[in-house]
Amino acid sequence: MTITAPASERTERTAQPLTALMCRPTHFTVSYRINPWMHPDEATDTARAVSQWEELRRAFVRLGFAVHEIDPAPGLPDMVFAANGGLVVDGIAYTASFTHPERQPEGALYADWFRASGLNVVEARHINEGEGDLLTVGDVILAGTGFRTSLDSHREIAEVFGREVVSLRLVRDDFYHLDTALAVLDDRAGQEHIAYLPSAFDDASRAELERRYPDAILVDEHDAAVFGLNAVSDGLHVVTAARATTFQHQLREAGYEPIGVDLTELLLAGGGAKCCTLALRADTLNPREA
């Protein structure tokens, strides 16, 4: 039985519109297999992927987000998943270094965009896939490992950003990035709130999450499987998968306003709303280039 706190005792949810980088899925298809969601022998619909992505972008604009775009490159169908392009905190852009050869060229393109936008770029020396595995919560960076991002990169990130980095080991290949198994709902220091799928983590990581976030929302298998946790939150509004209906109910109970979007075409490559969105935590960006 779930006991809901009276409205007077709930944390006040406050929207803080994001600055985000996105990449139009002009060249989207599934032509190789680097995660369990991808099946190259099954047809994909690029026009449908673009239409769904545009609806996501419109949802962000309606929420007051500042949305920037990086040009898509031919031959890089996963470039739409901008979250993997790096980690931007305090105006510092830590570049991505992808695990699979198919995606490695993306790292340099995102790094070039960061430089042109006036960010302080730090070239990664170790394998990492950006915000796919690196999520900022308050003053802490939650860092996934197990499938894509190396533990060596976690140590490097702690040095680059001067923040505590908490390593979390993923154990299910269908939730191969941290942002597929955990969503940051409120990243304000002192108000940190997350949602996650317990079965995606090893015992030690799950215990650490329970210790740090005892009020976290625990999401069920169905809603996680439709990428409900691959969500984007401004602290009040949570853009999530339209089919994650139980999660949306949980969000409402916790004082959030969920917004369901249909990204089922992009899910064929193992991506959702957060995968398409890289947060740009910087005071200023070069307006001419960005």
Q: Which residues of 74-97 are buried (b: 16+ CB within 10 A; e: fewer)?
A: eebbbbbbbbbbbbbbeebbbbbb
For the question of residue 177 being annotated catalytic, the response is yes
- Are 164 and 139 within 8 A, CB to CB? yes
Q: What is the pLDDT of residue 287?
A: 54
Per DSSP bridges, beta strands 86-89 and 257-261 are unpaired
Q: Is residue 218 helix, strand or coil?
A: strand
Closest by CA position to 230, among listed 35, 73, 81, 69: 81
- Residue 289: band (very low, low, confident or very high) from pLDDT cuts 50, 70, 90: very low
**Going by C-beta distance under 8 Å and a sequence separation of 6 or more, which residues neighbour residue 178?**
132, 133, 134, 135, 142, 143, 144, 149, 168, 170
**Going by C-beta distance under 8 Å and a sequence separation of 6 or more, which residues neighbour residue 160?**
92, 94, 122
Alpha-carbon distance of 274 to 258, in angstroms, equals 14
Q: Which of 177, 193, 237, 276 is catalytic?
A: 177
Least confident of 8-12, 26-30, 98-102, 222-226: 8-12
Q: How far is CA 148 from CA 103, 127, 144, 158, 159, in A?
A: 12, 7, 8, 18, 20
List, for residues 57-72, the tens digit of each pLDDT value: 999 999 999 999 999 9
Would the pLDDT of 202 be above 50? yes
- Residue 7: band (very low, low, confident or very high) from pLDDT cuts 50, 70, 90: very low
Q: Which of 23, 27, 68, 275 is catalytic?
A: 275
- Are 21 and 280 within 8 A, CB to CB? yes
How long, in residues, is the chain? 290
Would the pLDDT of 3 be above 50? no
DSSP single-letter state for residue 170: B
The first and second tokens of residue 146, run together, are: 């197990």
Strand runs labelled E in 131-192: 134-137, 140-145, 164-169, 182-186
- Residue 224: band (very low, low, confident or very high) from pLDDT cuts 50, 70, 90: very high
Segments making up each domain of the chain, as ranges: 16-279
Domain 16-279 falls in which CATH fold? L-arginine/glycine Amidinotransferase; Chain A (3.75.10)
Query: Max alpha carbon distance in the chain (Å)?
Result: 54
Distance of CA 227 to the CA centre of its chain: 11
Query: What value does the mean pLDDT of the chain take?
Result: 95
Alpha-carbon distance of 179 to 227, in angstroms, equals 9
- Are 90 and 161 within 8 A, CB to CB? yes
